[in-house]
Amino acid sequence: MVGEILVSIFLIGAGILAGIVSVVSSMASLVSYPALLLAGVAPVYANVTNTAALIFTGLGSAVSSMKELKSSWHKYIKYIILISIGAAIGSFLVVIFPRKIFEKLVPFFVFLSAFLFLMSGKKSTYQRKANNQFLAKIEMFAAGVYTGYFGAAAGILMLIALLSVSNDDFVVVNAVKNVIGSLGNLIALIIFLFTSKVYWIKAIPLAIGLFIGGFLGQMIIKYLPVKAVRIITFIFAIFLAVYLGWQAYR
C-alpha cells in the first residue's frame, strides 16, 4: 500500500515536470514515458498509458490560456481534423505491429525526437513563408500519425507547421499546439480502449501532474530559460534513447 502511494506521488511529480516541459519544449513524453517505465509498466502499455495521461497537459494549458485561445481556435480547425485522422491511423499501427517491433523502434523515435527538438530552436526553421499551406497540412497529418504511434516530439512537428502558416504570437500558437496535441492523444486513447490496456492506476496520478504542469507551464513560459531547457532536454533524450536501445537489443 505504501509502495503504491509512493509510486503515485512520484508519477504526480513526474507529470508536473512533464507538463511544464511539454509547454516549453513539446517533449512531455521524454519525461512521462520513462517515468511509467520506472513505475513498472511494460513499454507498449507505458505508451498507451502515457497517451491517456497526456490529454490533461493540453487541458491545463487551455485553462491558463483561455484569453489567447478564445479569438484564435477557429482558424485551426482544418489542422485539428488532420491531427485526428493521423492519430487514429498511428494508434492502429501500435496495435497491429508485434510488441517486440515496437520496443526496437522506440529508441530511434527518441533519437529523432531529440534532433527535431534541437533543430526547432534554429530561427531559420521558423522563418518560412506563410504560403506553405500544403506542406503544413502534410506535417500536421504526419504529426498526428506519430502522436498515435509514439508521440514524443510530435508537438514540435505541430509547432513548426503552425508557425509557418500563422501570424499569431508564439504564446498563442504554442497554446493551440498543446490543445491540438491533446486532441490527438484523445483520439488515440479511444482506439486504445478497444484494442489495448491502459494502466489507469498509473495514468491518473500522472494525468493530475500533467494538468498542473500544463497550467503552470503556459503561465510561466515567458520566464523560463528556454535555451537551457532545450539543451538539457536534448541531452536527456540522447541518454534515454541509448538506454532504451540497450534494453531492446541486448
Residue 143 is predicted with a pLDDT of: 78
For residue 5, give every residue at least 6 positions away whose Cβ sits within 8 Å of its Cβ, in sequence order, or none: none
Residue 159 parent element (H or E): helix 154-165
Q: Which residue has the cell 497517451?
A: 51
pLDDT of residue 128: 47
Per-residue pLDDT reduced to its tens digit, 220-247: 776 766 677 667 667 777 877 787 788 7
CB-CB contact of 56 with 211 (8 Å): yes
**Per the structure, how many domains does the chain have?**
1
One-letter amino acid of 110: V
Binned at pLDDT 50, 70 and 90, residue 94 comes out as confident
What b/e readout covers 214-232, taking b as 16+ CB neighbours within 10 angstroms? bbbbbbebeeeeeeeebee
First-to-last alpha carbon distance for the chain, in angstroms, is: 34
Please tell me the predicted confidence (pLDDT) of residue 153: 63
What angle, 0 to 180 degrees and rounded to 10, lies between the N-to-C axes of helices 99-119 and 29-38? 150
Helix ranges, 26-131 (H)? 29-38, 43-63, 66-70, 77-96, 99-119, 123-126
Grid cell, residue 17, equals: 515536470
Place of cell 487551455: 62
pLDDT tens-digit readout, 132-186: 677 778 878 887 887 787 766 677 777 777 777 777 777 788 888 888 888 888 8
Domain that holds residue 200: 2-249
Burial of 86-116, coded b for 16+ CB within 10 Å and e otherwise, reads bbbbbbbebeeeeeeebbbebbebbbbbbeb
* Cell numbers that stand for 123 in this block: 530561427
Q: What is the pTM of this model?
A: 0.74
